[in-house]
Structure 1
Amino acid sequence: MSTTTLQAAPPSAPAPRASRAITPARLLPWLFLAPSLAVLAVITGYPLVRMLWLSVHEYERAQLLGVPAPFVGLDNYTATLTDGRFWTVTARSFAFMVVCVALTITLGTLVALLLMKLGRALRLVLSVGLLLAWAMPPLAAMLVWGWMFDTQYGVVNHLLTRLTSTSWTGHPWLIDPLSFFAVAALVVVWGAIPFVAFTLYAGFTQVPGEVIEAAQLDGASARQRFFGIQVPYVRSIYVVLVVLSMIWDLKVFTQIFVLQGIGGIKSETSTLGVYIYEMGMAQGHYGAASAIAVIFTVIMLVISAYYVRATVKEEEL
């Protein structure tokens, strides 16, 4: 009976690693990016480093005159996180953000669908109106909205008096915090709808028409076609719009600040952006304001983490 001797094959030599030598071809992209990176470091990097430095020092008005700022470590963060007003303002800001984002995405979707249904002439008229609303500076828009809701001479009170059986003359829209934020949400959503509508309109136009026609022939309703075909096609666009709207609405400043100047109660209507301004510029607590700004930045990074991760995954596919 013969036996066969099996001999293990010699291990193959490891594949040579790719050369990582620095070559002109590797350096060329960084040379093109160097000017932009330098400008970005100066414009964004320095304020961020300065904000971090201020947040760990007791920087008050006296330090503006050259008095050295004492190092306090994490005392500003501890004082902020144990301050009841900070959490009240944060909860108020998030509640305002949720309402604004929901209204912006919903109304922006409806306007985008309307743009697809209108004829060429009406679509052009609506697009021009949206562009004018989008291009108007926030401060100028707030002055117009402030006059519209003015207590004595506002056109809103006048129209409500003419359309209803009750008198709205002298009604103070900005005194009550609930109506104040209703007006603020109206202004913020009004200015954000054009961007959402145009972006979704561009996405909806890329949905294959034959797929929608096939679903219509199969008996799918308009609602089923929208949620079953159009929304999945533009899902990534919705993710971007929601994340950007959350960031923009959380850091809203001009609309709230101007409405407070017209007639709002600051202690009951401040959001995070206005609260940081009050702590720093109004009260002179620059160290505490910087600590709040750092915490606010961390919140923004947490919110945008999902978007960044989803974008990286899409690029890897």
Structure 2
Amino acid sequence: MPTATRLLPWLLLAPSLAALVVITGYPLVRMLWLSLHEYERAQLLGVPAPFVGLDNYVATLTDARFWTVTARSFVFMLVCVVLTITVGTLVALLLMKLGRVMRLVLSLGLLLAWAMPPLAAMLVWGWIFDSQYGVANHLLTSLTGDDWMGHLWLIDPVSFFAVAALVIVWGAIPFVAFTLYAGFTQVPGEVLEAAQLDGASARQRFFRVQVPYVRTIYVVLIVLSMIWDLKVFTQIFVLQGIGGIKSETSTLGVYIYEMGMAQGHYGAASAIAVIFTVIMLAISAYYVRATVKEEQL
């Protein structure tokens, strides 16, 4: 193969690679540099930041709050992923059962939920769970007969994360549902008919026929959901501003922001961000492996 032909793909990719290095590479290098220095607010005035090596990492890994926030983030992520995949599957199956008109209506509703910016969505959800004028308290008062008016949903950490999970799952369901719906429509109809003729129930056809056909799609969706839910920031941050207790409801993304922007410990925040990035890379590596394996099939 001529040299020019072999170099052509790299030449075509060169502009994109250069942009990727500038946009992604520099922030990563800068973050790594900050994590190795004691960079505080004083350094913003031009004072040189002293090199501390791995001290920020040692302080982070020996900090009890870091492990509390990390455990909280992973538990919250697991709950959101399970709910997202489960409800997304049910919605995808519903799309397959509905007629053309109702499928279009449901699809439009899902698209509207998916297209809404997270900050705008949080303002709406904040009003829904408002203690005085919220729809949630009015509905519960009407349905149960008890007085729910004035109930504070965001003060208690458990109900805080219940609301946060509801918001995050609501925004993530459309992507999962549409992706699975596209996968389920590719399952050969004759295979499902043969399974039905053999006496397989609807549940057996789903788990033994449909799920194996879209197994790789499930793997990709689960890994992507894990990444997205683990690095969630906007929803938690806005809910904390509405009424949550920060010390009991912070996740990793919010914790990094607090250490850096709120407290001015940029070196420590960068060390936490590097550790967080390593976790993301580990999860992403599994995603890339699953994607490559799918392309090779």
Shorter-chain TM band: over 0.9
Cα deviation, residue 304, structure 1 = 2.2
Deviations 1:204-255 (A, max 9, x none): 0000000000100111000000000000000000000000000000000000
Partner of 1:149: 129
1:84-233 paired onto structure 2 within 5 Å: 84-233=64-213
Go from structure 1 to structure 2 and tell me whether the alpha carbon gap of 1:223 and 1:126 turns closer, same or farther (over 3 Å shift): same
**Within 1, Cα distance between the matches of 2:89 and 2:185?**
13
Cα deviation, residue 156, structure 1 = 0.5
**Within 2, Cα distance between the matches of 1:131 and 1:312?**
29
| Partner of residue 283 from structure 1, selected from 237, 260, 263 | 263
Cα deviation, residue 316, structure 1 = 4.2
Letter in structure 2 aligned against 1:86: F
Q: Which aligned segments of 4 or more residues in structure 1 are displaced greater than 6 angstroms?
A: none
Partner of 1:72: 52
Please give the secondary structure, in 1, of the residue aligned with 2:280: helix
Letter in structure 2 aligned against 1:312: V
**Within 2, Cα distance between the matches of 1:313 and 1:124?**
34
C-alpha RMSD over aligned residues: 1.0
Partner of 2:235: 255
Deviations 1:160-210 (A, max 9, x none): 101112110100000000000000000000000000000000000000000
* The structure with more helix, counted as a fraction of residues: 2
**Within 2, Cα distance between the matches of 1:96 and 1:310?**
24
Q: Tell me, yes or no, if the aligned pair for 2:216 and 2:294 is still in contact at 8 Å.
A: no
Please give the secondary structure, in 2, of the residue aligned with 1:173: coil
Partner of 1:60: 40
Deviations 1:275-303 (A, max 9, x none): 00000000000000000000001111112
Letter in structure 2 aligned against 1:51: M
**Within 1, Cα distance between the matches of 2:171 and 2:288?**
25
**Within 2, Cα distance between the matches of 1:142 and 1:103?**
19
Asked if 1:274 corresponds to 2:267, the answer is no
Please give the secondary structure, in 2, of the residue aligned with 1:169: coil
**Within 1, Cα distance between the matches of 2:192 and 2:263?**
59
Asked if 1:312 corresponds to 2:292, the answer is yes
Partner of 2:31: 51
**Within 2, Cα distance between the matches of 1:280 and 1:63?**
13
Partner of 2:280: 300
**Unpaired segments of 5 or more residues in structure 2?**
none
**Unpaired segments of 5 or more residues in structure 1?**
1-18
Q: Percent identity?
A: 88
Cα deviation, residue 313, structure 1 = 3.3
Please give the secondary structure, in 2, of the residue aligned with 1:59: coil
Deviations 1:71-126 (A, max 9, x none): 00000000000000000000000000000000000000000000000000000000
Please give the secondary structure, in 2, of the residue aligned with 1:51: helix
**Within 1, Cα distance between the matches of 2:294 and 2:204?**
27
**Within 2, Cα distance between the matches of 1:214 and 1:280?**
60
TM-score (norm. length: structure 1): 0.92
Partner of 1:14: none
Alignment: residue pair count = 297
Cα deviation, residue 308, structure 1 = 2.0
Deviations 1:125-161 (A, max 9, x none): 0000000000000000000000110011111101110
Letter in structure 2 aligned against 1:269: T
**Within 2, Cα distance between the matches of 1:108 and 1:309?**
24
Please give the secondary structure, in 2, of the residue aligned with 1:213: helix
**Within 2, Cα distance between the matches of 1:308 and 1:186?**
29
**Within 2, Cα distance between the matches of 1:106 and 1:264?**
28
Q: Tell me, yes or no, if the aligned pair for 2:81 and 2:225 is still in contact at 8 Å.
A: yes
